[in-house]
Amino acid sequence: MKRSDNKSHCPINFSLETFGDSWSLLIIRDMVYFGKKTYGEFLESDEGISSNILASRLVHLEQRGLIVKKPHDTDKRKEVYLLTEKGLDLIPILLELADWAAKYDSETDAPQSWIAAVNSDRKSMISLIRDTVKDGGSVFSGSNSVVSKLTMT
């Protein structure tokens, strides 16, 4: 991954160059859906990202302004990664990707009730997710999750 490819200013290409590699969106997914915030948490994902790749992607996402890195409040070994406004604006893209996959992957992990909830009131769902994530929560994990607010599984 080169730092400044800039093959074109086509908006699709711009998005792909910014966060469209195999791993970047999975990191964003972990933040939005599962509330992950630290290097160690990202490493544990089912897809099995290597530590060197994870490190390079976090640098890349930070350079592009999608995430910010902050020292952990109490544990000085840890770093906390958080989404910026620019990163939070990827939520609609994640929802579309999930919607498409839920439709075409017969073995999808996506809960149908969740997909239905998003499709029934997309705009307000986006802002609910946004606010929740901004507040340190996530879609599925933790006490402060979107699904717990909606009382669904």
Partner DNA sequence: CTTTTCACTTTTATAATGCAAGTGATATTG
Partner DNA sequence: CAATATCACTTGCATTATAAAAGTGAAAAG
Residues that bind a second copy (CB under 8 A): 7-16, 18, 20-22, 25-26, 29, 33, 46-48, 86, 89-90, 92-94, 96-105, 107-110
Q: Which residues bind DNA (CB under 7 A)?
A: 1-2, 21-23, 38-41, 43, 48-53, 55-56, 58, 69, 74-79
Q: Which does 9 bind (CB under 5 to 8 A by kind): DNA, a second copy, none?
A: a second copy
- Report residue 52 as tokens: 């060197």
Residue 8 binds: one of a second copy, DNA, none (C-beta under 5 to 8 A by kind): a second copy
The encoded tokens of residue 119 equal: 């499709």
Q: What distance in Å separates the CA atoms of residue 62 and residue 64, rounded to the nearest whole number? A: 5
Residue closer to DNA, measured from CB, 58 or 139: 58
Choice between 56 and 148, CB closer to DNA: 56
Partner whose footprint covers residue 116, from a second copy, DNA, none (CB < 5 to 8 Å by kind): none
Q: Which is nearer to DNA, 50 or 127 (CB)?
A: 50
